[in-house]
């Protein structure tokens, strides 16, 4: 039976705009339109708003305001961060976990080096930090990339257990983790994306700690202030407001979501020939991925959408590459028939129960239609 209103369970792709972000964005549009580099009144207003946004984000992340830069996306933050670290060290090699976001892999492909190394993960998606640290000691390595949490399966990485040699900086992609779990303490550069925590799309964050050697790898100034060109001041302020609000409610929301996801994990695991992937405990509270044998991921997603539930396929082929998920392949998991469910901050127990029932119904119908 189809629902009249779709239940959005794909916040890991992009979260619904937080009310705090919406209110701030509308107010900031009236004042934040001017060039913050100008000395006239509107310019000074825009500069004040931008500085306020930077200060709020810095406080939320436990860093200094001058260590924070706004980019156009988390992907741009990763690109500028990694390329800037290797440019500054003069060594192009990048060591990374095998399940890093594609933005990291694209940097590795774009800047070729014999010192590049991809470090394997176990069946839960946890990287071998000892192997990663050993690879970082090779000649020609200029940076290490290790995510805080995986965007497809939710597994948390043991970033703080990583023992890197002096002079090899660490970039942590925290896009999937910010607003959901405590962030690692040990990093030299960190990136995130506002639309993942309920801020507006088009705002990324690049944080570079003081004392870290980093050079802007693209044309422009080396500082983090307006690193991506003309800033979207209202969006930056709205992103900061959303982050502050999300962190204020995180403990309550995370506890509720962790329990709700546990119910989804149990319901999926109870179905025949379904494998739940990712670490069962050391994971993001709101996300779960499972692989369904004898059914296509896109087919399941489309059927669930007809039932009124919006989810994603973690192993869906992209239109540009037609390749399955590198994350699932690295874990040795089934890359076909994969579904990712990520709860919103206001997802209810009733909606979770409805989804679990719909999942069992959809999987059974698809398999029956295939004669299984």
The set of catalytic residues is: 317
272's CB contacts (< 8 A; 6+ apart) are none
Rounded Cα distance between 164 and 20, Å, is 39
Contacts for 166 with CB less than 8 Å, ≥ 6 apart: none
The DSSP element (H or E) to which 289 belongs, if any, is: strand 287-292
Dist CA 91 CA 84 (whole Å): 11
Rounded Cα distance between 136 and 130, Å, is: 10
Helices (H), the chain: 19-28, 41-61, 74-89, 102-110, 129-136, 233-269, 297-307, 326-331, 349-369
Distance CA 290, CA 30 (A): 45
CA 330 to chain centre: 18
Q: Any idea which residue has 């988390």 for tokens?
A: 74
Angle between helices 349-369 and 233-269 (to 10 degrees): 60
Query: Which tokens go with 16?
Result: 């619904």
Counting every residue written for the chain, the total comes to 372
- Pair 156, 106: CB distance under 8 Å: no
Q: Please tell me the distance from the alpha carbon of residue 77 to that of residue 80, in angstroms, as a whole number.
A: 5
8 Å CB contact between 205 and 70: yes
């Amino acid at each position: 039976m189809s629902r009249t209103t779709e239940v959005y369970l794909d916040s890991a792709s992009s979260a619904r705009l937080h009310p705090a972000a919406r209110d701030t964005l509308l107010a900031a549009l009236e004042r934040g339109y001017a060039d913050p580099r100008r000395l006239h009144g509107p310019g000074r207003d825009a500069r004040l708003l931008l500085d306020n946004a930077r200060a709020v984000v810095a406080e939320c992340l436990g860093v200094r305001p001058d260590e924070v830069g706004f980019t156009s996306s988390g992907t741009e933050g990763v690109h500028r961060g990694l390329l800037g670290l290797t440019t500054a060290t003069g060594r192009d090699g990048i060591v990374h976990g095998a399940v890093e976001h594609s933005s990291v892999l694209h940097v590795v492909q774009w800047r070729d080096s014999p010192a590049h190394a991809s470090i394997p993960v176990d069946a839960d998606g946890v990287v071998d930090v000892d192997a990663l640290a050993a690879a970082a000691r090779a000649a020609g390595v200029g940076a290490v990339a290790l995510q805080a949490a995986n965007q497809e399966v939710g597994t948390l990485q043991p970033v703080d257990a990583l023992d890197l040699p002096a002079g090899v900086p660490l970039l942590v992609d925290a896009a999937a983790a910010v607003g959901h779990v405590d962030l690692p303490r040990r990093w030299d550069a960190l990136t995130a994306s506002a639309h993942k925590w309920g801020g507006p799309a088009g705002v990324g964050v690049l944080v570079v700690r003081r004392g870290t050697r980093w050079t802007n790898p693209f044309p422009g100034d080396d500082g983090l202030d307006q690193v991506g060109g003309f800033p979207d001041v209202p969006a930056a302020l709205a992103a900061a407001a959303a982050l502050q609000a999300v962190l204020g409610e995180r403990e309550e929301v995370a506890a509720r979501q962790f329990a709700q996801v546990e119910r989804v994990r149990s319901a999926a695991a109870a179905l025949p020939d379904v494998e739940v992937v990712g670490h069962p405990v050391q994971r993001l509270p709101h996300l779960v991925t499972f692989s369904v044998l004898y059914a296509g991921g896109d087919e399941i997603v489309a059927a669930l959408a007809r039932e009124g539930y919006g989810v994603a396929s973690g192993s869906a082929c992209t239109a540009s590459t037609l390749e399955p998920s590198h994350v699932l392949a690295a874990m040795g998991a089934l890359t076909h028939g994969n579904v990712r469910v990520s709860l919103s901050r206001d997802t209810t127990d009733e909606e979770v129960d409805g989804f679990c029932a719909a999942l069992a119904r959809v999987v059974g119908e698809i398999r029956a239609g295939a004669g299984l």
